Structure 1
Amino acid sequence: MEAVAKALHPDSKEKRYCNNEIISISKQLLVQVLELPFDSKSRKMTDLLKTFDGLDITKYANLVSQKLKINQDIYYYDNEHKNYYRGLQVMYQQENENDKQESIKTIRDADFEVIPQIDILVVESIWEDNKISHAFAIANKQTLTGLKFCPHCNSKAFDPKDKNYSRDYEIHIIQCENNEGKIVKKVKLDYIQKPFVPHIMQNKTYQYLLSNGRQHEFKPTQYFITYDLETVPKIVNKKFGKSSYQMYELFPLSVASTIRNKQGIKKIFFSQQDGEDFIVQWLNQLFKEAEQVNADNQYITEACTIDDTIPYSMEVPIVGFNSSRFDISLIISQMQ
């Protein structure tokens, strides 16, 4: 609670707080937060502090904000990237109708009610295999984090090193000042209302058939291609000793495909016997077969010709077996 007390009572030209004053204030805040049944200067408080380990600021952040009616920005240190960042923002919320009525009365008496905003830095350390959190009051969060914060909402941050810093900062400052520091979310509606039907809008074929009252003619994709690539592991590097390792690389042996079209089922097979570029040969043959599969999937008129009026731009489905993790890299490396 000393960090909260220090943040709520910063030093100024008129008043500087010594350590004893901050400790005394923190005791009063502790009694208020935990609703202790005794005074902060009583004997019971002294006995309590002898065994009191302190409050975990992250666990009791919501309770502290509600009891003290403050807003908190809690910062942490990132050891990996060597910088400070805001990890938690706790805002004071009105709990019941009495608080709302009191707030309305306060607003009537004054132009507005100012909720104090404090910044806390939490540093974690290990002592005797136990994690200990230390809380500190932040005097200047911009100097600590190296970021420029909006003076109105105190939540939006900008990096001064960014090339668009000045532009983005000025735009946000104007908007935030007009909104009185409040986050205002606006919903932008289309000029013409459209229903949310992705299964129609993302399928040009079904969209066309539905608009012309021919949705009963819609058909699923019937023809496709499958493939299976056979590989064997090949040792490319190994070492034995105190630190042993053995590295493998997949080596392609053969590839087989099955093509299903209107003429029936066709199978093609390529292996090392066809040359070291057998994957390239297979790809060339695969694209030729895909043209026929794509033509067979088109919509046909009564005259047995392709109906050009119905838009059809579906990709030819090519299904691989156990190929998503290993085999696909061997295929992509051969594509030109």
Structure 2
Amino acid sequence: MYISDIDKVINGKLCPNNCQMIFNTKNQNYKRDLARHLKYCQGPETAKQVKLDHLPKPYYPHISNNKLLQKLVATGQSDLLSPTLNYITFDFETVESIINGVDNLIAQLEPLPIASAATINGLITTLYFDLRDGTDFIEQWISQLFEVAIKVNEANQSNIPEVQINDKNYIPYKPQVSVIGFNSKKFDMNLLLKHLIKNRTKIQYMGSTTQAKQTVVSHQDYDFDLRFIDILSFIPPNNTLKQFVEKFGTKGIKLTK
């Protein structure tokens, strides 16, 4: 598909030298002005050109944007890097609330309890809130979630190697604590967002209006961020929760209150 006559589209005469000059064809001096212009027109002032580096460079923003990772890779110390072993999981339990419409019957999901488990150096610490704790039980859980995340962040930071960065403009990478849900990008995150906004937070949302791929929550009282993600975004589709637990089990982890 292409435009056969661009002049009809713009309702005028476009300079054939691609300098983006347009002439009004209804003007009685149109031909004279066009001839004068073509006499001195040298084409576009700046032509776009592709400038390639002499040597090919890989694309790795996760390293180039992090000075610590950049130095470890550059100095051959990448073996000091270790995966993040401490994280938080959460889940809602809901019930259908029937809303009688005029012409049809509508069901709306309402949260009853919310539970989370924090893995800290092989130990699991749990949180549980429901309607018996008050109608603001979700906000109570969020408040306690940040407190538990302090210990999770400390455990993760203890595994990061100490590397000196000789750069006056170096800004340390702000750590993130992963809060992982299972099939949470639809209902769970949409429900949490309205409660997270009330807690002096700044939210960076990635995704559509119905599905949150990633939500990063910054709180002014804490030096780390909470990163809400859905584990289904990182594993093959059509996995049930039972199958996921069997594949990525919790062997060797002790449960604590």
Q: TM-score, normalised by structure 1?
A: 0.44
Match in the other structure for 1:195:
57
Match of 1:291 among 132, 150, 154: 150
1:318 is displaced (CA, Å) by 1.0
Which one scores higher on RCO, CA 8 angstroms, separation ≥ 6? 2
Pair 216,152 (structure 1): closer, same or farther in 2 beyond 3 Å:
same
Match of 2:88 among 225, 232, 252: 225
Match in the other structure for 2:120:
261
Alignment of 1:107-126 (within 5 A): 118-119=4-5
1:279 aligns with 2:165: no
Name the CA distance, whole Å, in 2 between partners of 1:215 and 1:186.
Answer: 37
Query: What letter corresponds to residue 137 of structure 2 in structure 1?
Result: F
Pair 119,276 (structure 1): closer, same or farther in 2 beyond 3 Å:
same
Q: How many residues align structurally?
A: 174
Alignment of 1:22-41 (within 5 A): none
> Residue 299 of structure 1 contacts residue 307 of structure 1 at CA under 8 Å; is this kept in 2?
no
1:208 aligns with 2:76: no
Query: What letter corresponds to residue 196 of structure 1 in structure 2?
Result: P
Pair 327,155 (structure 1): closer, same or farther in 2 beyond 3 Å:
farther
Name the CA distance, whole Å, in 1 between partners of 2:87 and 2:13.
Answer: 56
Pair 180,263 (structure 1): closer, same or farther in 2 beyond 3 Å:
closer
1:262 is displaced (CA, Å) by 1.9
What's the CA shift string for 1:85-130, capped at 9, x where partnerless?
Answer: xxx326xxxxxxxxxxxxxxxxxxxxxxxxxxx539xxxxxxxxxx
1:333 aligns with 2:197: no
Pair 237,309 (structure 1): closer, same or farther in 2 beyond 3 Å:
farther
Query: What letter corresponds to residue 10 of structure 2 in structure 1?
Result: Q
Three-state SS of the structure 1 residue aligned to 2:143 is: helix
Match in the other structure for 2:255:
none
Q: TM-score, normalised by structure 2?
A: 0.56
1:89 aligns with 2:2: yes
Alignment of 1:1-336 (within 5 A): 88-89=1-2, 118-119=4-5, 140-143=8-11, 150-152=14-16, 178-179=42-43, 184-188=47-51, 195-198=57-60, 199-239=62-102, 244-262=103-121, 264-300=123-159, 307=162, 309=164, 311-335=172-196, 336=198
Query: What letter corresponds to residue 120 of structure 2 in structure 1?
Result: N
Percentage of identical aligned residues: 34
Name the CA distance, whole Å, in 2 between partners of 1:206 and 1:293.
Answer: 21
1:156 is displaced (CA, Å) by 7.1
Three-state SS of the structure 2 residue aligned to 1:316 is: strand
Name the CA distance, whole Å, in 2 between partners of 1:307 and 1:155.
Answer: 56
Unaligned runs of 5+ in 2: 23-36, 166-171, 199-257
Name the CA distance, whole Å, in 2 between partners of 1:209 and 1:295.
Answer: 21
> Residue 19 of structure 2 contacts residue 43 of structure 2 at CA under 8 Å; is this kept in 1?
no
1:291 is displaced (CA, Å) by 1.7
Three-state SS of the structure 1 residue aligned to 2:185 is: coil
Pair 152,271 (structure 1): closer, same or farther in 2 beyond 3 Å:
same
Match in the other structure for 1:29:
none
As a proportion of its length, which structure holds more helix? 1
Pair 260,221 (structure 1): closer, same or farther in 2 beyond 3 Å:
same
Name the CA distance, whole Å, in 2 between partners of 1:151 and 1:248.
Answer: 61
Query: What letter corresponds to residue 266 of structure 1 in structure 2?
Result: T
What's the CA shift string for 1:222-244, capped at 9, x where partnerless?
Answer: 111000011112123422xxxx3
Match in the other structure for 1:46:
none
> Residue 225 of structure 1 contacts residue 260 of structure 1 at CA under 8 Å; is this kept in 2?
yes
CA-based RMSD of the aligned residues comes to 3.7
Three-state SS of the structure 2 residue aligned to 1:324 is: coil
Name the CA distance, whole Å, in 2 between partners of 1:157 and 1:291.
Answer: 61
Name the CA distance, whole Å, in 2 between partners of 1:314 and 1:330.
Answer: 25
> Residue 149 of structure 1 contacts residue 155 of structure 1 at CA under 8 Å; is this kept in 2?
no
Name the CA distance, whole Å, in 2 between partners of 1:318 and 1:307.
Answer: 25
1:328 is displaced (CA, Å) by 1.0
Which is higher, the Rg of structure 1 or of structure 2? 1
Name the CA distance, whole Å, in 1 between partners of 2:133 and 2:164.
Answer: 43
